[in-house]
Every structure is written in structure tokens, then in C-alpha cells.
Amino acid sequence: MSDTAARLEEKIRDGSARVGILGLGYVGLPLSVEFAAAGLPVLGFDLAPGKVEAVNRGESYIKDVPSERLAPLTQAGRLKATTDFEALGECDAVVICVPTPLSKTKDPDLSMVVEATKSIAARLRSGQLVILESTTYPGTTEELILPLLTEGGLRVGHDFFLAFSPERVDPGNDRFSTRNTPKVIGGFTEACLRVARALYGRAIDTLVPVSSPRAAEMVKLLENTFRSVNIGLVNEVALMCERLEIDVWEVIEAAASKPFGFMPFYPGPGLGGHCIPIDPFYLSWKLKTLDYRARFIELAGEVNSAMPEHVCARVADALNDRCKSVKGSRILVLGVTYKKDIDDVRESPALDILRILERRGARVGYNDPYVPQLDHNETRLESQELLPALAEADAVVIVADHSSYRYREIVDAARLVVDTRNATRGIVSDKIVKI
């Protein structure tokens, strides 16, 4: 073990190591709070001045991070934020938590990871630890990050340390947060893994070391591909059940009684969020460069991305049964976030459903207690007041089944309810159509 690594480990242990977090979003802000709460001085970096100012005022913009938890840390000076990237040189550890979206052609867009790495590389000094947390394809840390960091001549594992550790945060999950979700870590060398473990060991309860950054990158993609494929399977089972005139929800519930060998997944209006609809395509893209077709990923993507169209077809059929057309009907979408009880609309299937229904001539609106305004088709929609909107709507589509909705009252007040989440379970009414 080199002296450099031992010194860094000691600084982490005695609480004097400064941690820099690049990207203060859904991943970076909770992580910053966790490190600061564990007694390490944290400096958050973001390009968005609004986020930086909010953090410095102790105001959280992430639902899972209460301002009451953030404010004492900023007041005590343990957590600060800045847009001045010069301060990266002062940090002993830097964790990259920037977005990894897909391009229009569904290829990985690593431009923000590259930008963030370049800003570190320009100030890299001996004794620093760099960790990538953004989800990406296996090989990124080694093939993309490492060459940028070694341009100045510093040696990985000797002068500086490099690791990949995937973020697994599940927004809206009350039971598992950053601290008590086990953390997978892959270091570039033994020393890299050791210092990365020392760092996360301060703030995370359980660490799961693996042999390399590329194994750690693959772990995250296995987890998200597992979800995407299983959701794709159950969405297809829902389509089959529809043709067989069987209630898919009853079937899943009964199958879930098996105490081994079955794990329930549920059909829905389509995938959403920054992870499940995107990450598996990072893996299939990488495999394409190695002449391998990731067939399960492609098929699941096909089935899942067709669900919003299917929901709209069900709305059209249900209106048709009531001698109405989609064109000219008022259709209210309930819940526009990608899953219940969160405030995130990224990649939400509700956006596709609103767009498809509008394209077919419907007069669309929405209600969502978590989303007061929604940018849609170059206009800004406002969340409508629930009861008057229900009374006016020809059809209501439940897309995000928020716990705060009173579904009995919704069914009573609506003319027609298309339920994509089984939110109306237990309510018997011929107004309800389920997928």
C-alpha cells in the first residue's frame, strides 16, 4: 500500500478529507447530505446556479431530502455548493453524479461525464480519489475516464485513485435510502478499492466490493435490465390476458402466493424515470460494438415502449363503447410522474399518453399533487383542480397511482376510468376499464 493511499485513508478516517460531489441532482444531493452527516466536509458542484444557491440556503429541491436535514448541515458549514470548479483541486475525493441520457438515436450520451471528468483532470493532483457513480456501459471508467485523468502524467493506483460505484437510489422509497442501500464498489487497483471503501464506509452501512470498475458497471446494468425485462414480460402477459379475458392483476396476485421461485412485477402504462427506460440501452449499445445483439433488452424495450399507445387504444375503445370518439373528448390524466408518490416526470409515460391523445384530437388536461405545472408540446399545462376536472372529463386515465388519491371518490365522480395501475382494486363499477 503506497504512502499516498495510506495518507488519504487516514484523512478520510479522521474526518479531514474534503469530498467534492459533481452534479447535485437526485443522486448527488442525497449523497452530499450523507457524507456531510457522517462528518466529512462536502463541497457540491453544479452548473445550475439555482441549485447551488438553494443548497447554500439550506433549501432542498429533492423530495427525498427534507430541508430540515439539509439546512443544519449548510448552517454548520459542513455542506457548501459552488459553480466554481477551481475548488475541485481542494477536494480529496471527487464523486461524479452527472446525467447519462441517450441521444436522439438511442446511443449513450456521455458528454456530461466527459465534461465533468475534464474539469477534474485539469486540477488533478497527487492524493485524490475520483469515483464515477453515473450509470454507464461496462468499460467506461477504464476506457473513457482513465485516459483523461492520466493525460497529465499522474499514475492511477499510485498518485491518484479511481473507482466506479453505481448509485442505486430508489426515489420515494421510505425504507431504503442512500445510507442503508448496500453499495457496490469496483476499484481500478487494490489501493483504489481500499480508499474508495474507506470513503463510502463513513456514510454507507454495507459495502459490496467487486473485482473491477467494469464488473461494478455491469452490476448496475444487470439490475436495471432485470427490471426492464420482467416489466416487459408482465406487460406482454397483460396483453395476453386481455385477449383471453382474464384479469391479469388477479393472476399476478395469486402467482405471488408462491413462496419461492416467483417475484411479482406489475403491468403499467410504460416505463419512466432516468434509469429503467435508458440504462439497458447503454448495455445493448456496448454489445453492438462487439457484434452481439442483446435480444432480451431490445424485445423488452419494444413491448414497454408500445404501452402508452396501448393505453390510448384502450381509452379509444372505452369511449367508443359509450358512442364517443377520442376527437373532441375531454380526457384527464391522473398522476403524470413516472411512478407514484414522487415528483419526477422524466421519461414519464404520461407525457406520451398526453401527446398521443392530443394528436388524436382529445382535449387533454391533468391533475397531479406533485406537479403543479407541466411542459407539454411547447405549451405549459397547469394541474387542474381535481373535482371540477373529474366532473368535466369524458374519460379519466390513472397513470401514476399516488397514495393521496381517494379512488372511490374518483370513480364516483368520473364518467369513465381507465386504470393502468390497478389503483381501483376492490372497487366494483362498470365505469372502470383496466389494463
Tell how far CA 272 is from the center of its chain: 8
The residue from 45, 161, 265, 281 that contacts ligand NAD (CB under 6 A) is 45
Q: Per residue, what are the HEC states of 124-139?
A: CCCCCEEEECCCCCCC
Nearer to ligand NAD, 115 or 375 (CB): 115
The residue from 12, 17, 20, 26 that contacts ligand NAD (CB under 6 A) is 26
The residue from 48, 148, 154, 233 that contacts ligand NAD (CB under 6 A) is 48
- Provide the CB-side half-sphere exposure for 20 (13 A, CA): 29
Measured distance CA(124)–CA(374) in Å, rounded = 41
The residue from 28, 108, 187, 277 that contacts ligand NAD (CB under 6 A) is 28
Nearer to ligand NAD, 4 or 134 (CB): 134
275 is catalytic: yes
339 near ligand NAD, judged by CB under 6 A: no
**Shortest distance, CB of residue 27 to ligand NAD, whole angstroms?**
3
Measured distance CA(360)–CA(309) in Å, rounded = 11
Q: Which helix (H) or strand (E) holds 368?
A: none
Residue at grid coordinates 407539454: 376
Tally: H helices and E strands in the chain: 16, 15
Nearer to ligand NAD, 26 or 161 (CB): 26
Measured distance CA(269)–CA(47) in Å, rounded = 34
Q: Measuring CA to CA, how many Å separate 291 from each of 162, 285, 294?
A: 29, 10, 10
Nearer to ligand NAD, 45 or 407 (CB): 45
Nearer to ligand NAD, 11 or 183 (CB): 183
Nearer to ligand NAD, 10 or 143 (CB): 143
Measured distance CA(144)–CA(236) in Å, rounded = 37
Which class for 17: exposed (0-12), middle (13-18), buried (19 or more C-beta within 10 A)? buried
**Shortest distance, CB of residue 411 to ligand NAD, whole angstroms?**
32
**Shortest distance, CB of residue 85 to ligand NAD, whole angstroms?**
7
Q: Among 24-32, 33-41, 65-73, 347-355, which window interacts with ligand NAD (CB under 6 A)?
A: 24-32
Measured distance CA(429)–CA(280) in Å, rounded = 39
**Shortest distance, CB of residue 160 to ligand NAD, whole angstroms?**
19
169 near ligand NAD, judged by CB under 6 A: yes
Nearer to ligand NAD, 46 or 217 (CB): 46
Give residue number: closest CB to ligand NAD: 25
**Shortest distance, CB of residue 426 to ligand NAD, whole angstroms?**
31
Q: Among 110-118, 241-249, 315-323, 406-414, which window interacts with ligand NAD (CB under 6 A)?
A: 110-118
Helix (H, G, I), strand (E, B) or coil at 295: helix
Please give the residues from 264 up to 283 whose contact with ligand NAD meets the rule CB under 6 A. 274-275
401 near ligand NAD, judged by CB under 6 A: no
23 near ligand NAD, judged by CB under 6 A: yes
Q: For residues 413 and 334, is the Cβ–Cβ distance under 8 A?
A: no
The residue from 9, 31, 38, 51 that contacts ligand NAD (CB under 6 A) is 51
Angle ∠(181,52,339) on CA atoms, nearest 5 = 45
User: Who's near 117: CB < 8 A, 6+ residues apart?
Assistant: 96, 130, 144, 145, 148, 149
Residue at grid coordinates 372505452: 318
Site string for ligand NAD, 122-161 (x = CB under 6 A): ------------xx--------------------------
Catalytic choice (91, 192, 275, 312): 275
Angle ∠(192,23,273) on CA atoms, nearest 5 = 105
Angle ∠(161,167,171) on CA atoms, nearest 5 = 155
Please give the residues from 180 up to 219 whose contact with ligand NAD meets the rule CB under 6 A. none
97 near ligand NAD, judged by CB under 6 A: yes
Which residue ranges make up the site for ligand NAD (CB under 6 A)? Answer: 22-28, 45-48, 51, 97-100, 112, 115-116, 134-135, 167-169, 171, 274-275
| Catalytic residue list | 275
